[in-house]
Structure 1
Amino acid sequence: MATIDRQAGTLALAHALSAAERGLAVIPLSRTKLPALRSPHHGSEQPCRGECGRFGHGVYDASADPARVRALFAAAPWATGYGIACGLPPHHLIGVDLDVKSGQDAPAALRELAMRHLFTIPPTVVVLTPSGGRHIWLTGPPDAAVPNSAGRLAPGIDIRGAGGYLVGPGSRTDHGVYAAAPGTDRLPPAPCPPSLLRLLLPPPRVASGSTGGGHHGHGLIQFVLAAHEGQRNTRLFWAACRAYENGIGPALTEALVDAARTTGLTEREARATIASARRMTGLTG
């Protein structure tokens, strides 16, 4: 049984209830940042996302209802923090997790992406992590589920989307306390810039085609060809990242360049964007 720190638990519940008042669905977390309640189906292959009515389903337990939040924390008196579920209404929260461990400079990588794709991060909630990183809170549209990812946009940048959660400010962990950056704690989560959102969402699938890389390669080419002015670099970068992640980058490069030139980019611009995608993914084939 985990040691019960009643003061930390009381503070965690208070912070969780404050988040719930803002419409954020929460769950109790242990000092390891994992959900505090163990699955009631431990050792079973029974698929359940909370339909059984018991606690212990991780992010699927998340709620903004104060009575349910109190019940969750009462069932986990050892909890010292809380998680905020992403992707749920009304905010459809997206978390941009900037890591600085292992010599990574995720903030610089995000600035490079912002300059290349012409977006700025608006004033929003920023949570400082014990390791020196930060979580940027953004909101997404209700009709688009942003997937979770780790290091896909750039080394050190993780995305928390549908099915994921963020450690809430005020949470105490084995490594320290999460805290809102000064001046951001009462800000509403800001809308995700459209250019960044396009990088986070998967490209549309195309059912048929004969482009190198099969159906997936054809879909990426069509995604680039559908770009309007202001989207061309963004769509090409996204498509090139997906191509390299799926092992078809080299085979699809010339077709991507041709598609980009069709949309109005120069060959030099297209090859530079594809090279940037290759570096970002850290892959060569």
Structure 2
Amino acid sequence: MATTDRPLPPAVPTASLAPLALAHALSAAARGFAVFPLSRTKLPALPSPHRNDPPTTPRCHGECGRPGHGVHDATVDPRRIRALFAAAPRATGYGIACGLPPHHLIGVDLDTKTGTNSSAALRELALRHLFTIPDTVVVATPSGGRHLWLSGPQHVVVPNSAGRLAPGIDIRGAGGYLVGPGSRTEHGVYATVPGTAHLAPAPCPPALLRLLTPPPRPHHPDPTRSERHGSGLVQFVLGAHEGQRNTCLFWAACRAYESDLGPTLTEALVDAAVHTGLTEREARATIASAARMTAGA
């Protein structure tokens, strides 16, 4: 992982940075982090293959097999990574998908652009809720912020949020991504803080994890709405691709139990999960974990 923090020279052609970005991405993938190419704006470097589709077209998360689905393109397969970067010759960095095995990465983004002291806000939360941030990977951003990398439990889905935990603290969870160290952007370089590059993401403290997991939504009985909600959860599971199937199933099962749909939706969720490639035993175990977690919430 990169440790340099020199700004991006204006004269460096963007295209010449793609091989360096690819090298950093392959290094991260070798450590188990699923990656995909980013542009110098920190956005996915590949355009969506569905950008000209009619608005009514169902959303695709990569099921079509073509690149250009952002974080859903993320992979640890070196051949696929090289193919993604070959299709994105102007990539200057790479994104690391959060929430995927084996690390189930959670990113704590301590921002400086809001004018608040996000580091002090995190320390205050730690004191109030009795947890400490362990030694872990820390990435310095060009704006002077910090990304703390933490590892989450396998069956807990942490959502993305901006400022919900405290002003200036954003969370990158399932479906989100972090800019990988070594990436060049229009504002500078992302770099690991010296002394942390060799570390693995430390387990997220349980007290912090509880703060990152939103409370169940209030229940509003509505048979028609419940049917639509249940159908949407099943479709969400059917859309999961390899590497995210268990996580997507757990998330959908949690939402089902929070809405009192768990018992009636179990078989449909199991069938959907089996359709994506999970075994029936894996699917039922994941749904049972979701039921236990929501019951104890």
2-structure distance, mates of 1:4, 1:16: 19
Q: SS of the counterpart of 2:150?
A: strand
Aligned partners of 1:87 and 1:162 also within 8 Å: yes
Number of the residue aligned with 1:243 = none
Deviation by residue 1:146-196 (Cα, 9 ceiling, x = unmatched): 000000011100000000000000000000000000010110000000000
Query: Aligned ranges for residues 218-233 of structure 1 at < 5 Å?
Result: none
Following superposition, the deviation at residue 94 of structure 1 comes to 0.2
2-structure distance, mates of 1:195, 1:75: 42
The partner residue of 1:7 within 2, 16, 22 is 16
2-structure distance, mates of 1:208, 1:49: 30
Q: SS of the counterpart of 1:150?
A: strand
Q: SS of the counterpart of 2:27?
A: helix
Aligned partners of 2:152 and 2:203 also within 8 Å: yes
2-structure distance, mates of 1:57, 1:208: 34
Q: SS of the counterpart of 2:29?
A: helix
2-structure distance, mates of 1:52, 1:193: 38
Q: TM-score when scaled to structure 2?
A: 0.67
2:169 counterpart of 1:160:
no
Number of the residue aligned with 1:22 = 31
Q: Which runs of 5+ in 1 are unaligned?
A: 210-285
Query: Aligned ranges for residues 1-285 of structure 1 at < 5 Å?
Result: 5-44=14-53, 45=55, 46=57, 47-205=59-217, 207=219
Number of the residue aligned with 2:269 = none
Deviation by residue 1:22-61 (Cα, 9 ceiling, x = unmatched): 0100010000000000000003232100000000000000
Number of the residue aligned with 2:250 = none
Following superposition, the deviation at residue 4 of structure 1 comes to 5.7
Following superposition, the deviation at residue 8 of structure 1 comes to 1.4
Aligned partners of 2:114 and 2:168 also within 8 Å: no
Q: TM-score when scaled to structure 1?
A: 0.70
Structure 1's consecutive aligned runs of 4 or more residues displaced over 6 angstroms after TM superposition are none
Q: CA RMSD in A?
A: 1.6
Aligned partners of 1:73 and 1:79 also within 8 Å: yes
Q: SS of the counterpart of 2:107?
A: strand
Q: Say which one has the larger Rg.
A: 1
Aligned partners of 1:4 and 1:77 also within 8 Å: no
Aligned partners of 1:37 and 1:75 also within 8 Å: yes
Matched residue count? 207
Report 1 or 2 for greater relative contact order, CA contacts < 8 Å, sequence distance ≥ 6: 2
2-structure distance, mates of 1:114, 1:182: 24
Q: Which runs of 5+ in 2 are unaligned?
A: 1-11, 222-297
Q: What percent identity do the matched residue pairs reach?
A: 74
Aligned partners of 1:37 and 1:56 also within 8 Å: yes
Following superposition, the deviation at residue 7 of structure 1 comes to 3.3
Counterpart of 1:15, as a letter, is H
Q: SS of the counterpart of 1:37?
A: coil
Counterpart of 2:204, as a letter, is C
Following superposition, the deviation at residue 206 of structure 1 comes to 6.4
1-structure distance, mates of 2:199, 2:17: 25
Q: SS of the counterpart of 2:200?
A: coil
Aligned partners of 1:160 and 1:166 also within 8 Å: yes
Counterpart of 2:24, as a letter, is H
Counterpart of 2:138, as a letter, is V
Seen in structure 2, the aligned counterparts of structure 1 residues 120 and 40 have a Cα distance that, compared at 3 Å, is same
1-structure distance, mates of 2:87, 2:152: 32
Counterpart of 1:89, as a letter, is P
